[in-house]
C-alpha cells in the first residue's frame, strides 16, 4: 500500500499540473478518466483566464516537480517529430536553462567540501552560474596557475527529492504490472530499477569525473570528439573541477549554418561517434542532448564535437554488442528472417515463436522506412509500431538496453535538427560491417591468442603436478571414476595443447623461412627459382599451420 508521504506526493503532482492549467493531463490518466467531468466543476475553470502558452506551462510544471520530471522533459525536447512544435521548442529550455539556485549557497557548498575558502584554491570565482541543470549547476573560476576552469556543484538536498520520486515510480510500476499485461511484458519494475541506478550514479561527481577521464582516453587521438580534462586534486563527491571549453552550443544550429559549417559532416560525425562508443569502446555517453554538446568550428569543413556532463554512461555485454550489431546489419540488408531468428535465439521472444510469422510482422513495420532520408524517418514512431507488433509475440523489453535506446533517440533528434537529409543507414552500415569483420576475422583470432597466451604460459608448468595429484588420488582409491575422468580430460588437454603448439611452431618456421629467403642478397635470389613465389608460399603454409593451432582458442 502507498505510504501517506507518497500519496501526498502524488496529490502534489496533480496539484502542480492543475495550477499550471494542465487539468486535462490529469484526467487523461486511466485511473481518473471516469472523473473527467470534474474539470468543469473546478472554480478556476468557471471564468476565462489569460494563460501562458501551453508549452511554457508544461515546462514550468516540470521544473517545479523536480529533477526526474526535468530529465523526462529533456528527452522529449529532442523529439520534435513526436510533439507539437510549440511544446518541443519550449522544452529545449530544460537542456541548459533550468532555474539556478543561489550562488552564495553554491559557494558555501564548495567551501564545505574543501574545508577552506574558495580563494584558497581559485581566482576569479564567479558566483553567477554559467549554466544550471536538473541536479547541479556550473560556476567559472581560474586555478592559481591561470588555467580557466568550471566548477560543478550538486544542488543542495537533491538526493532525498530523487529518492522520494523514485519510490513513487516503484509504486506506479508495481500497480501497473499487477493490473496490466502490457506493463508486465514491458518489465516496468526493472526499467525503474535501471533508471534508479542511473540517476543515483549522477549524484556522485567522483564517478562522473572517472567517466569523463575514460571517455577522454578513448578519444585521445581522435578528431571527432573532445573531452575536457578533469582536475582530480579539486574533485570531491559533490564538487567536480574540469577544464573550461569554448565552442558553439549545439543549439545554435542556425548560427553554425550561417557561418558555413559543413552540417552534413557534423550530422554524420554524430552517428559515427555513437557507433564508435557503443561497439569499438563499449562505453558510451548516454545523455547526448544539445545542452551537453558544443562544436569546435575553427575548421568549418571538419567540425569537432565537444561533450560535457558525463553523469550517465552506458556499457553492453559482449553478447548484447554482437546481438545488436547483427540486428542492425540484418535490418540494413532487409534480412527480416535473420532479425526474427536473432530475437528467438536471444530469448527476447519465446522459444516456440514461429519465425516466419514474426518475420512477416517485422517486415510490415520496417520496410516502409528504408531508402528514406532521416527527415522522413521517425524512430519514435517505429518503436511504437514495434511495441504493438511485439505484443502479439510476447516480446519483452530488455532493461539493460534502455540507456542505449535513449541515446539512439537523442542522436536521431540531433541529426534531424542538424541535417535532415542525413542517410542514417549508409553512414552506419560500413562501420558495423567493419566491426563484425573484426570480431570474426583473423584479427579477432590473434587478439584471442594474445589475450590467452599469458594464462596458458602460467598454467603449463602446473600441468605435471596436476597429473601427478590426480594419479595419486586414483591410486589411493578416492573417487575412482571421477578422478579417472579428470585424468583423461587432463591428458587430452595436454595432447591438444602440444598438438596446437606444434602447429604454431611449424607455422612460425614457415614465416622465418620466408623472411630468410627475402633477406638474401640478389645474387642468391638469382640462384633460386622464383624466390618471391617460394617466400610467399612458405608464408602462406606457415599461416595455415598457425591458424590450425589457434582456431580453437
Query: For position 500, what pLDDT does the model report?
Result: 61
Quick one: DSSP state of residue 396? P
Q: Is the pLDDT confidence value at 109 over 90?
A: yes
Of 194-203, 230-239, 432-441, minimum mean pLDDT range: 432-441
Over residues 142-170, the mean pLDDT reads 89
Query: For position 220, what pLDDT does the model report?
Result: 92
The whole-angstrom separation of Cα 197 and Cα 134 is 17
Q: What is the DSSP string of 414-467?
A: HHHHH-TT--HHHHHHHHHHHHHHHHHSHHHHHHHHHHHHHHHHHHGGGHHHHH
The whole-angstrom separation of Cα 28 and Cα 526 is 89
The whole-angstrom separation of Cα 335 and Cα 356 is 12
Confidence of residue 132 (pLDDT cuts 50, 70, 90): confident
Query: For position 380, what pLDDT does the model report?
Result: 59
Over residues 353-380, the mean pLDDT reads 77
Residue pLDDT, tens place only, 186-218:
677 877 787 788 788 888 999 999 999 999 999
Residue pLDDT, tens place only, 8-63:
777 777 777 777 777 655 555 444 455 454 555 555 555 566 677 878 888 888 88
Residue pLDDT, tens place only, 294-348:
999 999 999 999 999 998 888 888 888 888 888 878 877 888 888 888 888 877 7
Q: Cell match 552506419: residue?
A: 428
Q: Is the pLDDT confidence value at 267 over 80?
A: yes
Which residue did the predictor score with more confidence, 349 or 158? 158
Over residues 431-458, the mean pLDDT reads 62
Residue pLDDT, tens place only, 404-416:
777 777 777 787 7
End-to-end CA distance of the chain: 54
Of 361-375, 384-398, 410-424, 485-499, minimum mean pLDDT range: 485-499
Query: For position 365, what pLDDT does the model report?
Result: 81
Pairing of strands 225-226, 304-307: parallel
Whether the CB-CB separation of 6 and 168 falls below 8 Å is answered with yes
The whole-angstrom separation of Cα 403 and Cα 284 is 9
The whole-angstrom separation of Cα 11 and Cα 482 is 66
The whole-angstrom separation of Cα 91 and Cα 58 is 8
Kindly state the helix (H) or strand (E) to which residue 138 belongs, with its residue range. Answer: strand 136-143
Q: Is the pLDDT confidence value at 259 over 80?
A: yes
Query: 241 φ, ψ to 5°?
Result: -120, 130
Over residues 267-281, the mean pLDDT reads 89
Query: For position 553, what pLDDT does the model report?
Result: 45
Confidence of residue 438 (pLDDT cuts 50, 70, 90): confident
Catalytic residue list contains 102:
no
Per annotation, catalytic residue among 23, 96, 165, 287: 287
Query: 152 φ, ψ to 5°?
Result: -100, 130
Q: Is the pLDDT confidence value at 275 over 80?
A: yes
Residue pLDDT, tens place only, 455-506:
555 655 665 666 667 566 655 555 555 555 655 665 666 666 656 666 555 6
Query: For position 243, what pLDDT does the model report?
Result: 96
The whole-angstrom separation of Cα 324 and Cα 408 is 12
Which residue did the predictor score with more confidence, 236 or 287? 236
Mean pLDDT of all residues in the chain?
76
- Of the candidates 65, 79, 78, the residue with the CA atom closest to the CA atom of residue 169: 65
Confidence of residue 442 (pLDDT cuts 50, 70, 90): low
Q: Cell match 560535457: residue?
A: 308
Query: For position 182, what pLDDT does the model report?
Result: 62
Q: What is the DSSP string of 508-548?
A: HHHHHHHHHHHHS-HHHHHHSSSHHHHHHHHHHHHHHHHHH
Cell readout for 31 is 485511473
Helix (H, G, I), strand (E, B) or coil at 42: coil
Query: For position 286, what pLDDT does the model report?
Result: 86
Bridge partner residues of 149 (DSSP)? 141, 243
Over residues 132-155, the mean pLDDT reads 93
Confidence of residue 175 (pLDDT cuts 50, 70, 90): confident
Amino acid at each position: 500500500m502507498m505510504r501517506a508521504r507518497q500519496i501526498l506526493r502524488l496529490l502534489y503532482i496533480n496539484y502542480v499540473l492543475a495550477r499550471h492549467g494542465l487539468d486535462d493531463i490529469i484526467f487523461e490518466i486511466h485511473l481518473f478518466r471516469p472523473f473527467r467531468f470534474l474539470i468543469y466543476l473546478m472554480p478556476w475553470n468557471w471564468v476565462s483566464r489569460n494563460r501562458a502558452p501551453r508549452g511554457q506551462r508544461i515546462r514550468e510544471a516540470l521544473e517545479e516537480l523536480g529533477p526526474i520530471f526535468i530529465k523526462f522533459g529533456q528527452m522529449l525536447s529532442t523529439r520534435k517529430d513526436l510533439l507539437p512544435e510549440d511544446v518541443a521548442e519550449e522544452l529545449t529550455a530544460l537542456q541548459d536553462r533550468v532555474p539556478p539556485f543561489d550562488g552564495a549557497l553554491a559557494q558555501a557548498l564548495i567551501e564545505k567540501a574543501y574545508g577552506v575558502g574558495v580563494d584558497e584554491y581559485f581566482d576569479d570565482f564567479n558566483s553567477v552560474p554559467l549554466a544550471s541543470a536538473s541536479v547541479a549547476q556550473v560556476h567559472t573560476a581560474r586555478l592559481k596557475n591561470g588555467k580557466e576552469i568550471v566548477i560543478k556543484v550538486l544542488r543542495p538536498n537533491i538526493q532525498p527529492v530523487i529518492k522520494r520520486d523514485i519510490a513513487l515510480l516503484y509504486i506506479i510500476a508495481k500497480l501497473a504490472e499487477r493490473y496490466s499485461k502490457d506493463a508486465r511484458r514491458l518489465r516496468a519494475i526493472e526499467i525503474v530499477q535501471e533508471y534508479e541506478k542511473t540517476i543515483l550514479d549522477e549524484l556522485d561527481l567522483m564517478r562522473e569525473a572517472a567517466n569523463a577521464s575514460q571517455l577522454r582516453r578513448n578519444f585521445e587521438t581522435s578528431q571527432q570528439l573532445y573531452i575536457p580534462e578533469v582536475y582530480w586534486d579539486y574533485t570531491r563527491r559533490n564538487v567536480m573541477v574540469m577544464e573550461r571549453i569554448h565552442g558553439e552550443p549545439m543549439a545554435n544550429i542556425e548560427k553554425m549554418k550561417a557561418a558555413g559549417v559543413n552540417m552534413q559532416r557534423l550530422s554524420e560525425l554524430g552517428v559515427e561517434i555513437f557507433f564508435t562508443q557503443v561497439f569499438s569502446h563499449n562505453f558510451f555517453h548516454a545523455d547526448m542532448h544539445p545542452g551537453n554538446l558544443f562544436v569546435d568550428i575553427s575548421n568549418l569543413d571538419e567540425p569537432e564535437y565537444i561533450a560535457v556532463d558525463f553523469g550517465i554512461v552506458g556499457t553492453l555485454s559482449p553478447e548484447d554488442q554482437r546481438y545488436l550489431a547483427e540486428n542492425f546489419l540484418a535490418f540494413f540488408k532487409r534480412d527480416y528472417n535473420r532479425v526474427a531468428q536473432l530475437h528467438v535465439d536471444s530469448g527476447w521472444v519465446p522459444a516456440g515463436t514461429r519465425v516466419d510469422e514474426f518475420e512477416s510482422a517485422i517486415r510490415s513495420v520496417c520496410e516502409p522506412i528504408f531508402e528514406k532520408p532521416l527527415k522522413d524517418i521517425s524512430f519514435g514512431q517505429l518503436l511504437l509500431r514495434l511495441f504493438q507488433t511485439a505484443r502479439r509475440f510476447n516480446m519483452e523489453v530488455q532493461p539493460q538496453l534502455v540507456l542505449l535506446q535513449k541515446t539512439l533517440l537523442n542522436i536521431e533528434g540531433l541529426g534531424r535538427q542538424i541535417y535532415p537529409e542525413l542517410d542514417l543507414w549508409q553512414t552506419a552500415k560500413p562501420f558495423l560491417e567493419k566491426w563484425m569483420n573484426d570480431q570474426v576475422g583473423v584479427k579477432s583470432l590473434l587478439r584471442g591468442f594474445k589475450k590467452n597466451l599469458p594464462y596458458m604460459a602460467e598454467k603449463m608448468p602446473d600441468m605435471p603436478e596436476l597429473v601427478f595429484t590426480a594419479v595419486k588420488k586414483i591410486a589411493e582409491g578416492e573417487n575412482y571414476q571421477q578422478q579417472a575422468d579428470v585424468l583423461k580430460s587432463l591428458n587430452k588437454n595436454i595432447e591438444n595443447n602440444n598438438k596446437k603448439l606444434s602447429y604454431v611452431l611449424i607455422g612460425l618456421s614457415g614465416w622465418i623461412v620466408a623472411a630468410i629467403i627475402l633477406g638474401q642478397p640478389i645474387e642468391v635470389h638469382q640462384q633460386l627459382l622464383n624466390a618471391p613465389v617460394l617466400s610467399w608460399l612458405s608464408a602462406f603454409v606457415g599461416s595455415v599451420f598457425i591458424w590450425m593451432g589457434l582456431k580453437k582458442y
